[in-house]
Structure 1
């Protein structure tokens, strides 16, 4: 790799041992992937912040780093393993919670911003098109690359930490123009209306695309932010998609020809839609309902509150979101409506990263393709993927009839 004089000084240890070690990690990555140089970045969204993922090894790594240095660029933090303020009320194990809080303190000492969310773009971390960043969290990576048009690879905990300390990443992968073109063209033959519709499309496409770039054409309605959030999470879960394009919608896809050229499309119609839905069909008694994986927007919290008003839930119902969005919900009165219904707004975490297996749940319904994908393997839960309105109905009845 060709390093600038400053980057050479960083690697030589002239800015301290922590910077040297961080630069060594990034240079090694760059050499593995054939990068010719480093790039300056403007921000980081750091994954691996949950103690469930980091463990004692990650905790000690960050604690040691916090003694030696600080972040060079703004760093927002991904979802953690507990609700940082209400972990006792929610029944999270004390030993786990204390380790989690210790890990957070180490990040705070380094100057990280306490967002604790998988949707940093909803709480102020909104990179511009063409901006180089270093993000972790699969759904956020797909969103920032695709919807916002910023540029990041799939960063893990150590590489994101190193990027935050140095303000650098190696120039490879999705930072380069030539790697941002489409590989698979999907022709959407049905009208997508709901978040689940977009999640189903994403789940179908992710299974085919894998780590490559899918391109979608034929989407008739302009997607909402929540639609795109659902799509981003789904393509990153069934596959490992970090970038997709929607012709006429996302910033790098003004036309099909511009982003992928001429190619025989893969059809996505009623048959393909129903195949995905059938994979996550479920009926019977429900003991756990979750919305907010990725974290709910204020619009989603509002919808849930309106549907719960004056009702009572029989199943445990988590509405997962960031504390910043909950502050808005508090002011709008949504939090109180949800609490009176017996449901809970859970901040900072989600079931994928929280120790929920000890609660003994058997059947889960959710509007999240990501959670529906991971829950069976994580806790051997039978899982249904349904609309957000149906999630509320299932929570109220404690039962889901299995309708599509």
Structure 2
């Protein structure tokens, strides 16, 4: 029997688990990526260098290889492309219009607003001419962000109009469409909801609290999945998540959503039709829920049946982020000792020796993180902090090592 050929968009480090898993399930794999040297090329059966945001070029590659399925489950930038190619070739997919609902924050706001959810006050701006009027209608404090990017790139929080023009230009610089979203700040507790939709029925796989840095409130210092029996606010969180994915039209597939609990309201902030980053998708969700969402997405793309049955009482997980002062990294010490701490699932540095640490402007500027897994909330935080305390970094020609923050 001919093995199915799956086309995976992206060939970087975050796609490696998907490529490995697809091959272990007996599939052949084609990967495509914009860059000529990517780690997944060596694992895949075939690879092509092509921009995964380019719909027609990706379709041409997929057609030439006669693929049996396509997926982009680890990065926003290829979600719409995968949906477009699947639609054109009659393969399983969410549909191109649905993919746009999840990758364009302007559409996202409009659809959740129409769906009856509580959303921030918002305006869409595509030129500097209407900037001040839009900000006045929304009122300060407010958030300025690109409608079609990820990881907090180009996002600013403004208390007043002093830096409005600069914030707009920063957001526009990261917006592929050139459109910028201006929305009111919603105060409250930030949460993440991970789940999976099967035939229009969403199931919750995990709920986490986000703890922001005090001086950079748009960037988290910790993502904590407490585990244990659902809390008193679980039902309204689950309801808001289900209503959000329904409003955006997702019938099958994984989702990763961010909300703010503001009093009695659960306000949707952002939602992606892909797995969560920083190993949430590959390590955390399978452990806490008992559901390997990565495996289910591969089976979905291959046209196979799936079954999502999370365990009734979730386990705990904690992602502790690493922060360093600006400068060049000259030495990293203690990773092996930290990784040996029982309960540590992974330690990852985005930057290596000789690379520069910049200002913490968005999520991708965090130097790295520690992932811990355990049965209880207190235990998992202790494990993460113990491992983190064993790591130190020397910057430039500093005489002393910096313990990581």
Instruction: Please indicate, yes or no, whether the TM-score normalized by the shorter chain is above 0.5.
Output: no
Q: Which structure dedicates a bigger proportion of its chain to strand?
A: 2
Q: TM-score, normalized by length of structure 1?
A: 0.30
Higher share in helix: 1
TM-score (ref. length: structure 2): 0.30
